[in-house]
């Protein structure tokens, strides 16, 4: 197991438009705005922003990636990590509280449950982005840059690889994360990913949705 580091973040800025997008709503109405405000006020005390991470050596040979002591085979991952000799893997979560609020309103107020879900997605994505921004700033001091974060389930990097993060990181001990037999995490609003590290003269890659091969994703911009 790699040396696991833990970092807590302050609340990232809230993007209401992203919450609406994750809720599948195209237009902001006064009713939705009121519900979002109400849900945010209720959810905030239950949200935490914690990340567990570790640095690992990385080597790409064709479609095979050697990450630490693990050999992985993935065309998508090998493209993402091409030119990287090091990577950081991380687990992040905003805690179990939001899951309980989603469940609380599922039967009695479905729209509030949907908004709580959307808030959870926006919050965990913002946390993952905040961590990547932190790593990017730290590595810039060493003359290095980072690749877009890459998670199990992207492209041909199978969701079964989710267990990799639990093998390398003390995610259960440090963050309270668990993984079931279907490779789903609890708390559900959690993200794991690999971030390639390369020297500044290396070629940058597209970010966000432009870098993702999931063309039919419901959240694609």
pLDDT (mean) for 100-122: 98
CB 162 within 8 A of CB 89: no
Report angle CA 189, 75, 208 to the nearest 5 degrees.
45
- The domain locations on the chain are 5-211
pLDDT category, 212, cuts 50, 70, 90?
Answer: low
Closest CA to 97 of 182, 189, 201: 189
CA distance 129 to 127: 5
Ramachandran area for residue 82 (φ above 0: left; ψ -120 to 50: alpha; else beta): beta
Looking at residue 87, what is its pLDDT? 98
pLDDT > 50? residue 5: yes
pTM for the whole thing? 0.89
Domain 5-211 has CATH 3.40.109.40: yes
How many whole angstroms separate alpha carbon 140 and alpha carbon 132? 12
- Which residue, 152, 124, 135, is CA-closest to 53? 135
């Amino acid at each position: 197991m790699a040396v696991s580091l833990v970092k807590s973040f302050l609340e990232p800025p809230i993007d209401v438009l992203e919450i609406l997008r994750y809720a599948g709503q195209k237009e902001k109405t006064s009713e939705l705005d009121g519900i979002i405000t109400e849900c945010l006020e209720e959810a905030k005390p239950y949200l935490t922003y914690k990340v567990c991470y570790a640095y690992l050596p990385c080597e790409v040979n064709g479609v095979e990636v050697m990450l630490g002591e693990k050999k992985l085979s993935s065309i998508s991952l090998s493209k993402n990590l091409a030119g990287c000799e090091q990577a950081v893997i991380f687990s992040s979560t905003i805690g179990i509280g939001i899951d309980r609020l989603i469940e609380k309103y599922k039967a009695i107020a479905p729209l509030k449950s949907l908004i709580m879900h959307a808030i959870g997605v926006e919050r965990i994505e913002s946390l993952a982005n905040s961590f990547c921004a932190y790593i990017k700033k730290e590595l810039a001091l060493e003359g290095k840059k980072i690749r877009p974060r890459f998670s199990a389930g992207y492209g041909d990097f199978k969701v079964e690889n989710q267990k990799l993060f639990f093998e390398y990181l003390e995610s259960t001990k440090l963050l309270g994360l668990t993984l079931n037999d279907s490779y789903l995490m609890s708390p559900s609003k959690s993200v794991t990913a690999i971030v390639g590290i390369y020297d500044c003269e290396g070629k940058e890659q597209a970010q966000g949705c432009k870098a993702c091969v999931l063309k039919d994703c419901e959240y694609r911009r």
